Amino acid sequence: MAIVTIIGSGMMGSALAFPARENGHEVRLVGTHLDREIIETSIKTNRHPKFVKDFPAGVKYYQIEDVDAAIEGADFVIGGVSSFGVDWFADVILPKIPDGMPLLTVTKGLFDTEDGKLLTYPDLWQKKLDELHKNVPLNAIGGPCTSYELVAHDQTEVAFCGKDLKILSFLRDVMATDYYHISLSTDVTGIESAVALKNGYALGIALTIGLNQKAFGLDSELHFNSQAAVFGQAVKEMYRLLEYQGAASLDNISVGAGDLYVTVYGGRTRLVGILLGRGLNIDEAKAELNGVTLESLVVAERVARAVKVAAKAGKLDPANFPLLMHVNEILVEKKEVSIPWEDFTFVK
């Protein structure tokens, strides 16, 4: 039996308690300083407040003050914070993880640098570990997986990525079930970039839903031609960005495209894209969603900024990213939605 400590009791971090505990392992779920009510509710009811299914019997719950006890003796730690908690996790949690204890993160996102490079969160955390002179093997989860469907045991395919296949195999042995299927990859940049890029592009696809609601009514039938057209362009641009990072492969783009698909069909990114397509500007859309965190906005702006910097250096051509550039115009310049359909066409 392994001991799995999950830090961050949001929906995805909490969902991972299900396969781990159902496999017979000890699971310690730790709330961050923002998760106090979630942990209190879970202690009282054995259920996450946003789930419709109880946690498997035996999951142990900890408030952040007890994180040291939760980490002690664990076989590995799962980082379950959102992208807005990346710095907090680096500053507060990484120093507490003992040397040699693997970390598996579900946090998806990219940072851009002044010279136009795109860094994954494991890249950033590795820099922090180097400063601390610590050896914590970093691993990450990528792929199409919504938390509530994982809890419901819907058949789910993901990829665990990291530098050491032996560690990855151990993590898979602990977490894999008859509904949670895990591929392994040592291409951390490729997997992590692909699943982060999908956030901004999913917003672009959702714009078409809002546009059609604006044109035909809120209760009109869904139109799939326009969604499919933007989906195809999104995958093309994602592949070009993976090429820019030296990480383009069939496996990586497949993981990213799958994640793109599931993101379009549910969640916060879909909602904000629909509101923008209906004609709201980004400030109005945020107000409508009443403070919901939107990682998709951050990713889109960072990647677009990196493309512009790389273009000045002659490494990329913004004309090859018309969807990304338009999404950025909508978010940063508050331009009206006007999808550049003809820019998606090609002649071979």
CATH code (residue 309) = 1.10.1040.10
pLDDT tier, 292 (very low <50, low <70, confident <90, very high otherwise): low
Average of per-residue pLDDT across 262-277? 90
pLDDT of res. 294: 74
Q: Whole-number mean pLDDT of the chain?
A: 96
Separation of alpha carbons 263 and 84, rounded Å? 18
| Claim to verify: residue 182 and residue 202 sit in the same structural domain | no
Kindly state whether residue 202 falls inside one of the protein's structural domains.
yes
| Claim to verify: residue 154 and residue 248 sit in the same structural domain | no
Q: Can you give the residue range of the structural domain that contains 47?
A: 3-186
Looking at 161, 186, 211, the residue that finishes a domain is 186
75: DSSP letter: S
| Claim to verify: residue 161 and residue 228 sit in the same structural domain | no
CA distances 45 to 40, 41, 62, Å, are 9, 6, 14
Looking at 145, 166, 186, the residue that finishes a domain is 186
Looking at 186, 218, 246, the residue that finishes a domain is 186
Q: Which residue has the higher pLDDT, 287 or 49?
A: 49
Average of per-residue pLDDT across 45-72? 98
Q: Please tell me whether residue 73 adopts helix, strand or coil conformation.
A: coil
% pLDDT > 90, the chain: 92
| Claim to verify: residue 162 and residue 253 sit in the same structural domain | no
**H runs (alpha helix) in the chain:** 11-15, 17-22, 36-45, 67-71, 86-88, 121-132, 147-151, 165-175, 188-216, 224-244, 250-264, 268-278, 282-288, 295-312, 322-328
CATH code (residue 47) = 3.40.50.720
| Claim to verify: residue 151 and residue 211 sit in the same structural domain | no
| Torsion sign, CA atoms 63, 67, 73, 77 | positive
Kindly state whether residue 191 falls inside one of the protein's structural domains.
no
pLDDT of res. 129: 98
| Claim to verify: residue 79 and residue 134 sit in the same structural domain | yes
pLDDT of res. 214: 96
Average of per-residue pLDDT across 296-305? 92
Average of per-residue pLDDT across 83-99? 95
- Residues in contact with 345: Cβ distance below 8 Å, sequence separation at least 6, in sequence order: none
pLDDT of res. 286: 87
Q: For strands 138-142 and 103-105, give the pairing.
A: parallel
Question: Taking Cα atoms as reference points, which of 152, 124, 256, 123 lies closest to residue 197?
Answer: 256
| Claim to verify: residue 8 and residue 44 sit in the same structural domain | yes
pLDDT digits (tens, 9 = 90+) for 215-268: 999 999 989 999 999 999 999 999 999 999 999 999 999 999 999 999 998 778
| Claim to verify: residue 325 and residue 258 sit in the same structural domain | yes
